[in-house]
Amino acid sequence: MYRLQYDHQRLILMKRIFVTGISTEVGKTLAAAIMVEALEADYWKPIQAGNLEASDNHRIAALISNDKTVIHKNSYALNTPMSPHAAAEIDGASITMDRISEPKTANHLIIEGAGGLLVPINDRQTILDIIKPDYKVVVVSRHYLGSINHSLLTLGWLQKAGFDVSVLFNGDAQPYTEEIILRKTGLTAIGRIHSESMINKAVVKKYADRLAPVLRTL
């Protein structure tokens, strides 16, 4: 998605990129940190479930180097590390779409989902329902037994819904896995995050510099 902003009479296209993954723990937050750093974008995670003292907001803050990014408050910050619908029930809360309101910003915005695409947020809606029709969507795919199926299902749902979707691979290359995912979806990968012994600001900045030219063309 693009938002038009004027800066000293220059027309600037402000991007809205939603980061989701094929499952939980596939590297969405690391990918989001790299994209935030690459574009010096703002960051927003609508729903945080669990780890409130060391949340994804905290992780993003610890991994980026620029001083332009604003990390916006979660619409929901739930105590229980479970699917949002369950965490909300345990916390005595109810997740409604009218409370999930995109923060106002004149900057690019990277939005991170919770878990996978079809994780329920209440009895009727899933993470998919948070994604606005004109958002760009980046799917993080990590290699494990079953990841081809999970990748094709995630990408298929997004394509069927008409989203502009891209793939970012996390982990060292697995050609047989990646080639079949890209061939069956007709997509191209925007990049790769290799397995790293340590994740810190320097590593995020390295990948941000690599990914920035591609992100600017999304």
Per-residue confidence in pLDDT tens, the chain, 218 aa = 445 454 444 445 789 999 999 999 999 999 999 999 999 999 999 999 999 999 999 999 999 999 999 999 999 999 999 999 999 999 999 999 999 999 999 999 999 999 999 999 999 999 999 999 999 999 999 999 999 999 999 999 999 999 999 999 999 999 999 999 999 999 999 999 999 999 999 999 999 999 999 999 99
Range of the domain at 202: 2-215
State the total domains in the chain: 1
pLDDT of residue 12: 57
Catalytic residue among 15, 28, 45, 136: 45
- 69 forms bridges with which residues in the sheet? none
Q: Give the dihedral sign, CA 100/103/107/110.
A: negative
pLDDT of residue 145: 96
Q: Is the Cβ–Cβ distance between 8 and 105 less than 8 Å?
A: no
**Of the candidates 186, 49, 36, which has an alpha carbon nearest to the alpha carbon of residue 113?**
49
pTM: 0.93
Tokens of 135: 């958002």
φ and ψ at residue 155, rounded to 5 degrees: -65, -40
pLDDT of residue 5: 52
DSSP string, 69-131: --BPPPSEEESSSS-HHHHHHHHT----GGG--PPP-SS-EEEEEEEETT-BSSSS-BGGGGS
Active site (annotated) includes residue 45: yes
CATH of the domain at 53: 3.40.50.300
DSSP string, 138-202: EEEEE-STTHHHHHHHHHHHHHHTT-EEEEEEESS--HHHHHHHHHHHT--EEEEE---S--SHH
Q: At 133, which helix (H) or strand (E)?
A: none
**Contacts of residue 61, Cβ cutoff 8 Å, sequence gap at least 6:** 71
How far apart (Å, rounded) are the C-alpha atoms in residues 78 and 44?
A: 15
